[in-house]
């Protein structure tokens, strides 16, 4: 498949706290020249250093994807990377005045909504798809997760998610270049299990989590004291557990929204391979660690 490279038509501005650090950041999404790919610029640091969004710069995958070059760091980049990928953006510059990308509503929807209304700028230069010389498979025997990348005529992805959860069950999701990413994938929010919240908070993660940006799955029995503790943490009196097994902070967009969000993450993480893959991706129990290992292995294979 062949088409031209695209960038965004104008600049967009976002602000909010980071999911894990809780730090408040202002972020600008800017057009970029053909062939430049996706880069992050830390405007709060001396010299305004740039980090290339490439797999070899991944430095942490604890509940999100972090990239860094020397002392320059950008945390939780996967949602904006996914939005750009799903919409067909080849080149963009992301300016950030703090360490972590704002979590916003926990999905890619705020980015998608801003970009879609203006459309993209055709840059008149052919897109250089990444073509694989052979299939590639990365496995994690401990978790049972795997990601397989097979050469194909066009990009596509199929994932299966299994948390051994009676609430989620087994969920699957699909994406290709004909999928309506904005409506079917981009709106799907991040999620967490109720029993994980206290542990994550104690370990300096989800400091910016609140009831507006996360689906909370209640897999195990919860007493009133535990509910009260979470209500205080999220500053939401009267929070309850729905009949479906979720906290009552929000309504699901889809019954399989959590599975679709894992596909959203996969698209963002694999974009760190450096562009669009002429490949069919299949993944079982994907996560940031194995996703980015697959992207690193792919870049090593191409070298």
Contacting residues for 13 by C-beta, under 8 A, at least 6 apart? 26, 27, 28, 29
pLDDT at 196: 81
Mean predicted confidence (pLDDT) in 148-162 = 96
Average pLDDT over residues 76-93: 97
Q: Which residue of the set 20, 79, 261, 288 is catalytic?
A: 288
Burial class (CB in 10 A: 0-12, 13-18, 19+), 29: buried
Please tell me the least confidently modeled range out of 20-34, 153-167, 186-200: 186-200
Is the predicted pLDDT of residue 202 greater than 70, yes or no? no
pLDDT at 130: 95
What is the structure's pLDDT at 209? 56
Across residues 40-52, what is the average pLDDT? 97
Q: Give the whole-angstrom CA distance, residue 32 versus residue 112.
A: 17
Pairing between β-strand 215-217 and β-strand 191-193 as defined by DSSP bridges: parallel
pLDDT > 70? residue 42: yes
Residue 277 CA to residue 121 CA, distance in Å, equals 21
Q: Is the pLDDT reported for residue 208 higher than 70?
A: no
CA dist., res. 164 & res. 146, Å (int):
16
268-297 pLDDT, tens digit per residue, is: 999 999 999 999 999 999 999 999 999 999
- HEC-encoded secondary structure of 224-248: HHHHHHHHHHHCCCCCCECCCCEEC
Task: Indicate if the pLDDT at residue 205 is higher than 70.
Answer: no
Residue-level pLDDT at 4: 96
- Structural domains of the chain, with CATH: 4-128 (3.30.230.20)
More confident residue, 140 or 223: 140
Model confidence at 26, pLDDT cuts 50, 70, 90, reads very high
Measuring CA to CA, which residue among 65, 106, 85 is closest to residue 290?
65
Average pLDDT, the chain: 92
High-pLDDT (> 70) share of the chain, %: 93
Q: What is the pLDDT of residue 192?
A: 86
What integer pLDDT is reported at residue 64 of this predicted model? 94
Arithmetic mean of pLDDT, 204-233: 75
Alpha-carbon dihedral of residues 274, 275, 280, 286, nearest 10 degrees?
50
User: 254: helix, coil or strand?
Assistant: coil
Question: For 140-154, what is the mean pLDDT?
Answer: 95
Mean pLDDT on 52-77: 96
Tell me which of 79-88, 249-258, 269-278 is least confident: 249-258
Give the tokens for residue 32: 């970029």
pTM of the model: 0.93
Judged by DSSP in three states, 91 sits in: strand
Active site (annotated) includes residue 288: yes
Rounded-to-integer distance, Cα 175 and Cα 157, Å: 5
- Contacts of residue 228, Cβ cutoff 8 Å, sequence gap at least 6: none
Burial 160-190 (b: 16+ CB within 10 A, else e): ebebeeeebeebebebeeebebbebbbbbbb
Residue 207 in this model has a pLDDT that exceeds 90? no
Average pLDDT score over residue span 37-62? 97
Model pLDDT, residue 1: 45
CA–CA distances in Å: residue 116 to residues 77, 89, 95, 121, 192: 20, 11, 20, 11, 29
pLDDT digits (tens, 9 = 90+) for 85-131: 999 999 999 999 999 999 999 999 999 999 999 999 999 999 999 99
């Amino acid at each position: 498949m062949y088409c031209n490279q695209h960038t965004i038509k104008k600049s967009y501005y976002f602000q909010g706290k980071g999911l894990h650090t809780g730090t408040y950041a202002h972020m600008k999404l800017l057009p970029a020249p053909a062939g430049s790919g996706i880069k992050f610029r830390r405007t709060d640091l001396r010299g305004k250093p740039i980090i290339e969004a490439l797999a070899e710069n991944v430095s942490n995958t604890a509940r999100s994807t972090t990239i860094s070059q020397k002392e320059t760091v950008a945390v939780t980049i996967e949602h904006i990377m996914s939005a750009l990928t799903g919409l067909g953006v080849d080149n963009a510059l992301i300016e950030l005045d703090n360490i972590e990308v704002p979590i916003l509503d926990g999905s890619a929807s705020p980015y998608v909504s801003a970009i879609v209304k203006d459309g993209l700028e055709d840059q008149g230069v052919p897109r250089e798809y990444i073509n694989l010389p052979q299939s590639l498979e990365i496995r994690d025997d401990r978790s049972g997760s795997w990601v397989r990348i097979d050469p194909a005529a066009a990009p596509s992805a199929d994932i299966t998610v299994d948390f051994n959860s009676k609430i989620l069950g087994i969920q699957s999701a699909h994406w290709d270049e004909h999928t309506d990413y904005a409506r079917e994938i981009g709106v799907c929010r991040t999620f967490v299990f109720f029993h994980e919240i206290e542990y994550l908070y104690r370990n300096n993660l989800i400091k910016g989590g609140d009831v507006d940006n996360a689906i909370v799955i209640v897999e195990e029995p919860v007493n009133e004291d535990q509910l009260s503790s979470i209500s205080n943490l999220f500053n939401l009196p009267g929070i309850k557990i729905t009949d479906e097994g979720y906290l009552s902070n929000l309504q699901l967009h889809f019954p399989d929204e959590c599975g679709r969000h894992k596909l959203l993450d996969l698209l963002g993480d694999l974009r760190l391979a450096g562009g669009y893959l002429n490949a069919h991706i299949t993944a079982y129990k994907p996560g940031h660690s194995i996703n980015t290992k697959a992207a690193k292995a792919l870049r090593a294979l191409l070298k």
